[in-house]
Structure 1
Amino acid sequence: MSHTHDKEDSCCSTKVHPAPKDNHQHVHDHEEGDEHDHDHGGDPSAFKTYLPALVTLVMLLIGIAFDNIFKVPAFQTIRPYWYIVAYLPVGIPVLREVWETFKAKDFFTEFSLMSIATIGAFGIGQYPEGVTVMLFYTIGELFQMAAVNRAKRNIKALLDVRADVAHVLRNGKYEDVNPEKVAIGETIQIKAGEKIPLDGALMSDKSSFNTAALTGESKPRTINKGEPILAGMLNLDKVIEVQVSKAFADSALSRILEMVQNATTRKAKTELFIRKFAKVYTPIVFFLALALVTIPMLVLGSDYHFQTWLYRSLVFLVISCPCALVISIPLGYFGGIGAASSNGILFKGSNFLDLITKLNTVVMDKTGTLTKGVFNVQKVESVIDEKELLNLLTAVEAKSTHPIAKSIVAYVGNQEIHPAENIAEIAGMGLKGVVNGKEVLAGNVKLLEKFNIEFDTRIAAIEESIVVVAVDQKYAGYVLIADEIKEDAGEAVKQLHEIGIKQVVMLSGDKTSIVKKVATGLGIDAYYGDLLPEDKVAKLEEIKKDKTKVVAFVGDGINDTPVLAISDIGIAMGAMGSDAAIETADVVIQTDQPSKIVTAIKIGKATKNVVIQNIVLAFAVKALVLILGAGGIATMWEAVFADVGVALLAILNAVRIQKMKF
């Protein structure tokens, strides 16, 4: 219950691993994040990963030395066999990929292009070039794998904070059990230095926690008795007890992991275009290379030299391989998602990384978004006995999760709360219930007006948040409550304007007088108060009628869910936000800091810039070298740079996102 009066495919895949069973889908493994996500740092198996490339490199260097420096006559006898053996460690995995893709009836891939080019080079005696092309291709794939692992490190760190064991109180003693087998309501114990295995409420007085895995915030946070505590936090202080409030699968950490793991399945338009482009581009390139061999035969006649034109054709194939595009673009988006994650921001897909760069209008909820949502009772005015007023009010508020309800319950303290019956929420107005046979209404002025209850009209002029109370259809008094603006809210609004957001709007169910005061203080362009949930939807739809506007809505409550759903980008405050808001949103800010909206936009723009740079670099270099190759000016060495060299540069450019400061 809530008081709404105040609230609102790539086609490149690393060849050093066995091919998966799905012979077609494996070619998208890097961007999907399903394979190769182990980090080789300090892993003995890493040497095995790089061994084929090392063997080929050593044999290639020895062969080139014998060919050009030492010029050993005996070497000429075994020369072809030496280079064939040097080729096999890096060539066999690619040939295996060709076989797998052929079985899947996918004939035109970078695997087949590379295989034809290198085998053709061997056929015309260009052994070192053939080995070099395949070696550099493999090195490019290894760089790609390392870059993907680096991009995943921030995300995979979340897995490391999942506790393997929960100490559960059963039959008077603590037992070590799997967190998945702990029931809601059970008590668990967490010692200093241990990870919190499940969401719950702190039963001990207070403790200090490291929340970096969930929020990206390294500063320790103190949580007091009764306050929520989340799986993934690290207990820093002392032995504590927690009452479990959610099953393992429903914990905040599990939701975060699921959102991040699903993020790579939602592709940006650029990624989808490149994937489609590669499927058309690759066969065209193959047939152009074939034409480069056959057409001169018809035109030149007796002057035609097969070996020369075949070499040019092979150079053309190597140059035209689309790896630089299909590797670096998904990797750029993946890097953006990883960079956002390390800043406490979760994008549910690379498509939202793209879309957030186009934002020009940001619409925000007030309570819990721009304000802390931590209310304190400032004053109680009562026309009946004050103690009775508070007892009746607390009874109907006790089961509500709204910050105002919690503040009232906390103000009354530990005294016995009367049981309330037939509690119902009246949307945008408040609560209605029966306590000790008395009908109690608690909410805003609209609630009293709805039931035609007379009250002091001066109440409507009070700017601060109030909860008015009526008992048995008679006005009984009100409680005045104050909220605090978040420390970074003003700076966030200022920075939004600085980075190109044309309009910042605030929508609130709170009184217009309070909304005006907050909006004016923060420098917000437009504000609307006294809104019911359906009014917020109508207001956002009105804003969206202007087709030039790309609109984000930022909120945290369950009543913000409809508005989050219809906005172009829904952004939820995730630390204390409702499950419904987090599930509906496209972007989740784990720190609950408004300034992170600016960070999210900056990360989106940085990612887009890197992707555009990679596209321009790949097309420009390839176009130039393709022309030179067709004219016989570029050799296989230039082709290697145009393909693998550009791919490496693009990968390194994509990795930069991980190192940027936002």
Structure 2
Amino acid sequence: VIEILVGEKVPIDGVVISGDTYVNTSALTGESVPVRATVGSEVISGSINDGAVIRVQTTKEFGESTASKILELVESSGLRKSKSEKFISKFAKYYTPIVCIAALLLAVCVPLVNVATGRDACVAIWVYRAFTFLVISCPCALVISIPLTFFAGIGGASAKGILVKGANYIETLSKTNVAVFDKTGTLTKGVFEVDVIHPGELSAENLLEYTAYVESYSNHPIARSIIRAYGKDVDKARIVDVREVSGKGVIGMVDGRRVACGNERLMNDEGCLVGECVLGGESAGTIVHVSVDGRYAGHIHIQDIIKPTSKEALDKLKAKGVRTVMLTGDKESVAAVVAGKLGVDQYYSELLPGDKVSMVEKLLGENTGGKLIFAGDGINDAPVLTRADCGAAMGVLGQDAAIEAADVVLMDDDPLKLVTAIAIAKKSMRIVYENIIFAIGIKLLCLVLGALGLAGMWLAIFADVGVMVIAVLNAIRALRIKE
């Protein structure tokens, strides 16, 4: 157990056991608004305690903490070179000896030819031209600016809460033309929430209160979502004789009244006529029916809520010409509703982890001329994240296995950040090509002028240092990304 004072950084991941504060996670997730942390809340290493003194029970060793993993990923990202970087490295490997030989030929062979033909050797002139040729040909602009562009792109992405594990993934992201999403935890919040309350004879407040009291003895996620929606302390003295009916629901006595909460089968057992949900076909969640003293009292609609930015993210991707696909293990009816609300181009439901891999492989086979990116969050998504051209994991809700397998990590679980990542990648690659064309074009022109004696040492210095400075300044633009 560690105590964290106001203004201190959280050194190791853990769970708050006492205190109520706000933590600043902007350095990790890019989220500018501090996040509230109360008893039971998880806090991650690297965040800053902005509110009050808290005590934290550590849950991971330092080497496994969030900050430590991020540092390891950033350190290893430089080892993964993109095709452009590899091209420049290979280019420099052959280019340097070639221009050195060419300069030597200018300095030695041309004077010898002059002497052999009875002309003045002009050794000083050709040696000067050879040195000018060497200065012009120095590949600094390419060798420095290209990797710097990728590092700037990775840095610009991290400032937005997007962790890219290597320069090669910047190049892959820039070519994305198919985006595949897992549903739960990626496009949706991954937790049950009370969506709508449809009361019958009781008021909505009373219906929720009776349901919360009976469900307070259950650990089911649906029960916990109802208690969260109620938002008040449950007086256990008002509840007696609570029992769970397997596969149907919960029955108990609240203030002397018999309250039954569950599915239609439980309502049939209670002799109640179930009311039809007015959401009809738009319902993609679970309905908890409630009866009080044998009379139908209404129902509560609970579902996994779609993230506020999911629709916007998919719309922006489609506007960029990216085909969107949703994969889920949920039943067809749920998948159809969510897909309809989000407007995805295709969706596939009732998939096991192995089925998701097969589906991604099928999509990869169909996809030509571009790259496929998969975004997921769970352990079951890890194989798919590895199989895709580029895998993106949710950093907060995501399981460790998914984060480890992914090539890109969205630190605040916002699918809209995937659009930002692609925009950063496209801008970075555009700058890379600009620098390559600009540097090689200027150097070739100056090399010809230098060999002909039309370019002096000052122009040679510009072709080397000047072009390098211009290329580096252009590369730094990758750090600045518009929202």
Same-fold call, TM cutoff 0.5? yes
Distance in 1 (CA, whole Å) between partners of 2:357 and 2:136 is 53
Q: Provide TM-score, normalisation by structure 1.
A: 0.59
Matched, 1:571 2:401: no
**Partner in structure 1 of residue 253 of structure 2:** none
Q: Given the alignment, which residue of 145, 152, 163 partners 1:346?
A: 163
The answer (yes or no) to whether the contact 1:465–1:510 under 8 Å persists in 2 is no
Matched, 1:204 2:30: no
The answer (yes or no) to whether the contact 2:4–2:55 under 8 Å persists in 1 is yes
Distance in 1 (CA, whole Å) between partners of 2:154 and 2:134 is 33
User: 1:188 offset after TM fit, Å?
Assistant: 1.9
The answer (yes or no) to whether the contact 2:215–2:223 under 8 Å persists in 1 is no
**Partner in structure 1 of residue 467 of structure 2:** 646
The answer (yes or no) to whether the contact 1:465–1:511 under 8 Å persists in 2 is no
Superimposed CA distance per residue, residues 281-339 of structure 1 (whole angstroms, 9 cap, x where no aligned partner)? 11111111111122222332232211111111111111111111101111111111110
Matched, 1:543 2:357: no
Distance 1:608 1:488, change over 3 A: same
Query: Any idea what SS the aligned residue of 1:367 has?
Result: helix
Distance 1:414 1:329, change over 3 A: farther
**Partner in structure 2 of residue 278 of structure 1:** 92
Distance in 2 (CA, whole Å) between partners of 1:258 and 1:533 is 28
Matches within 5 A, 1:372-387: 372-376=189-193
**Partner in structure 2 of residue 125 of structure 1:** none
Matched to 1:600, the amino acid is A
Matched to 1:554, the amino acid is A
The answer (yes or no) to whether the contact 1:360–1:551 under 8 Å persists in 2 is yes
User: 1:223 offset after TM fit, Å?
Assistant: 2.9
Query: Any idea what SS the aligned residue of 1:226 has?
Result: coil
Q: Given the alignment, which residue of 282, 285, 304 partners 2:121?
A: 304
**Partner in structure 2 of residue 484 of structure 1:** 305
Distance in 2 (CA, whole Å) between partners of 1:368 and 1:636 is 61
Matched, 1:263 2:80: no
Which one has the bigger strand percentage? Answer: 2
The answer (yes or no) to whether the contact 1:191–1:238 under 8 Å persists in 2 is yes
Distance 1:292 1:439, change over 3 A: farther
Matched to 2:81, the amino acid is K
Distance 1:522 1:547, change over 3 A: closer
Distance in 2 (CA, whole Å) between partners of 1:336 and 1:572 is 19
**Partner in structure 2 of residue 162 of structure 1:** none
Distance in 1 (CA, whole Å) between partners of 2:68 and 2:357 is 30
Matched to 1:192, the amino acid is V
User: 1:257 offset after TM fit, Å?
Assistant: 1.3
Q: Given the alignment, which residue of 322, 341, 361 partners 1:521?
A: 341
Matched, 1:216 2:216: no
Distance 1:388 1:498, change over 3 A: closer
**Partner in structure 2 of residue 232 of structure 1:** 46
Distance 1:335 1:223, change over 3 A: same
**Partner in structure 2 of residue 505 of structure 1:** 325
Distance 1:547 1:486, change over 3 A: closer
**Partner in structure 1 of residue 418 of structure 2:** 597
Distance 1:326 1:406, change over 3 A: farther
User: 1:205 offset after TM fit, Å?
Assistant: 5.8
Q: Provide TM-score, normalisation by structure 2.
A: 0.80
The answer (yes or no) to whether the contact 2:81–2:166 under 8 Å persists in 1 is yes
Distance in 2 (CA, whole Å) between partners of 1:271 and 1:326 is 8
Distance in 2 (CA, whole Å) between partners of 1:440 and 1:249 is 44
Query: Any idea what SS the aligned residue of 1:527 has?
Result: strand
- The structure 1 segments of at least 4 consecutive aligned residues displaced by more than 3 Å after TM superposition are 386-393, 403-416, 438-442, 455-459, 461-468, 478-481
The answer (yes or no) to whether the contact 1:201–1:229 under 8 Å persists in 2 is yes
Distance in 2 (CA, whole Å) between partners of 1:201 and 1:486 is 25
Distance in 2 (CA, whole Å) between partners of 1:531 and 1:285 is 58
Query: Any idea what SS the aligned residue of 2:330 has?
Result: coil
Distance in 2 (CA, whole Å) between partners of 1:252 and 1:467 is 38
Superimposed CA distance per residue, residues 555-580 of structure 1 (whole angstroms, 9 cap, x where no aligned partner)? 11111111111111100010221101
Distance in 2 (CA, whole Å) between partners of 1:653 and 1:315 is 26
Name whichever of 315-324 and 524-533 sits farther off: 524-533
**Partner in structure 1 of residue 261 of structure 2:** none
User: 1:441 offset after TM fit, Å?
Assistant: 7.8
Query: Any idea what SS the aligned residue of 1:293 has?
Result: helix
- RMSD value, Cα: 3.3
User: 1:248 offset after TM fit, Å?
Assistant: 1.4
User: 1:414 offset after TM fit, Å?
Assistant: 9.2
The answer (yes or no) to whether the contact 2:152–2:476 under 8 Å persists in 1 is yes
**Partner in structure 2 of residue 242 of structure 1:** 56
Distance in 1 (CA, whole Å) between partners of 2:138 and 2:217 is 74
The answer (yes or no) to whether the contact 1:464–1:480 under 8 Å persists in 2 is no
**Partner in structure 2 of residue 135 of structure 1:** none
Distance in 2 (CA, whole Å) between partners of 1:514 and 1:196 is 40
Distance in 1 (CA, whole Å) between partners of 2:192 and 2:66 is 24
The answer (yes or no) to whether the contact 2:187–2:307 under 8 Å persists in 1 is yes
Distance in 1 (CA, whole Å) between partners of 2:22 and 2:213 is 37
**Partner in structure 1 of residue 482 of structure 2:** 661
**Partner in structure 1 of residue 296 of structure 2:** none
Matched to 1:283, the amino acid is P
Matched to 2:359, the amino acid is K
The answer (yes or no) to whether the contact 1:555–1:573 under 8 Å persists in 2 is yes
Structure 2: give runs of 5+ residues left out of the alignment: 198-210, 237-243, 249-264, 269-273, 289-298
Name whichever of 347-356 and 407-416 sits farther off: 407-416
Distance 1:284 1:585, change over 3 A: same
Matched to 1:308, the amino acid is I
